Structure 1
Amino acid sequence: MKPLTPTRHGIVDYCACALMLGAPRLLKLSSETQAVSAGLAASYLGVTVFTDFPPALRRVLPFPLHGKIELGTLPLLLGLAAWRRSANERLYFLGLAGMVAGAYALTDWQANPDET
């Protein structure tokens, strides 16, 4: 049994979006990294608000598809880490990749979205 139900996963996603918006500025990363991270936050938020689970605003995307979309961002995050000049920026994107991989691994993707 995995600890992240669909509802808990949604809460984690909303928190991750806030982190992607605020962390680069707090860490004093480049304006380019701040912009890229804001774009990532917007895309994650877009998927989250339309996923079939209770924290969504409009339940359109099947929950397992949400997982596949998130998993599909891992190569992008790893690529962003690889192409950063600053060690702090590389670590930031590697941290995001680890967060996505961890959330994916801890989520029960077959669970009924309406069960908490």
Structure 2
Amino acid sequence: MNVLSPRQHGLVDYAACAAMLAAPTLLNLNGAARTASYAFAGSYLLVSALTDYPVALRRVLPFPMHGKIELASAPALLAVPALLGALKDNRARAYFVGLTGMVLGTYALTDWDADPDE
């Protein structure tokens, strides 16, 4: 069920970046979790800003490639915080598990074959 167009997916991406920037303060996350969240926000923002869809700043990265990067990032959303010791905290663990679920859900709902101008 691919219901998200490239434009809609891009809007979700930017909302996710804002959430990743706000979450450390809102959830009072520790240093490692805070650092990981900010790093993921920056990397997602860069990929989003450079993807070939209507809400990009510069349309360089093909939309299907964006999808591959996004799918590959899902395990990293758990692995990096785990390696940093951030998942010992219940709030941080719930946050990163939820974030991973959101990324996978958004990936599954996106029409990766759609015209990138949609």
**TM > 0.5 between the two?**
yes
What do residues 44-78 of structure 1 show as CA deviations (whole Å, max 9, x unaligned)?
Answer: 00000000000001000000000000001111112
Gaps of 5+ in 1: none
TM-score when normalising by structure 1: 0.94
Deviation at 1:92, TM superposition (A): 0.7
Equivalent residues of 2:53, 2:117 under 8 A apart: yes
Provide the aligned length of Structure 1 versus Structure 2: 115
Are residues 1:68 and 2:71 paired? no
Alignment of 1:1-116 (within 5 A): 2-80=2-80, 82=82, 83=85, 84-115=87-118
Closer/same/farther in 2, CA of residues 91 and 80 from structure 1, 3 Å limit:
farther
Q: Secondary structure at the match of 2:88?
A: coil
Q: Give the Cα–Cα distance (whole angstroms) in 2 for the partners of residues 47 and 112 of structure 1.
A: 18
Q: Give the Cα–Cα distance (whole angstroms) in 1 for the partners of residues 81 and 42 of structure 2.
A: 19
Gaps of 5+ in 2: none
Q: Give the Cα–Cα distance (whole angstroms) in 2 for the partners of residues 37 and 4 of structure 1.
A: 25
Taking every aligned residue pair, what percent have the same amino acid on both sides? Answer: 57
